[in-house]
């Protein structure tokens, strides 16, 4: 379930609205750090997946420095390139890593899950809403369109 190719955490959360499931549906590393006592410890696979989800949340920025990535993902600077290289192997996130310029450019990114009226209320995250998703739909390859259609039809 914490594969770097899986991105259906919203469905998991809707069936079982626990803090961990909410974190993976809508949260970021910062949300985890702020609510670690509520969520409990995460293993290395879970942390890697949450780092990927965090990057997917900020991909619309287009370009980040390694310093920004290290801060967003709570990484040591020595771990940035290795982590980005692992995360770039997923169809959910396509990156261009410039080691010389110390930047990462986002080519495409799948959207995070969408919160809609009728879903359980989130307790500590700020999920993407329909309004916010409209901005994301214009980024990359519009990979979020099928997810939006499924959520609007439910």
The whole-number pLDDT of residue 8 equals 85
CB contact at 8 A, 114 and 57: no
Token pair recorded at residue 130: 């329909």
Mind listing the pLDDT tens digit of every residue in the chain (154 residues)? 677 678 888 889 989 999 999 999 999 999 999 999 999 999 999 999 999 999 999 998 999 999 999 999 999 999 999 999 999 888 899 999 999 999 999 999 988 888 888 888 899 998 877 776 666 565 555 555 566 656 555 5
User: What are the structural domains, with CATH classification, of the chain?
Assistant: 9-146 (1.10.10.10)
Q: Which residues contact 79 (CB under 8 A, 6 or more apart)?
A: 70
The whole-number pLDDT of residue 135 equals 64
């Amino acid at each position: 379930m914490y594969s770097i190719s899986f991105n259906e955490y919203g469905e998991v959360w809707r069936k079982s609205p626990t803090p961990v499931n909410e974190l993976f549906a809508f949260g970021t590393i910062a949300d985890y750090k702020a609510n670690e006592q509520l969520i409990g410890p995460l293993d290395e696979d879970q942390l890697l997946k949450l780092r990927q989800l965090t990057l997917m949340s900020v991909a619309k920025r287009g370009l980040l420095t390694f310093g920004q990535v290290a801060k967003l993902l709570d990484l040591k600077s020595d771990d940035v390139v290795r982590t980005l290289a692992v995360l770039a192997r997923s169809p959910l996130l396509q990156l261009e890593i410039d080691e010389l310029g110390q930047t990462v450019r986002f080519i495409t990114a799948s959207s995070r899950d969408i919160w809609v009226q009728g879903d359980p209320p989130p307790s500590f995250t700020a999920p993407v809403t329909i309004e916010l998703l409209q901005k994301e739909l214009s980024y990359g390859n519009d990979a979020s369109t099928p997810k939006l259609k499924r959520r609007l039809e439910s």
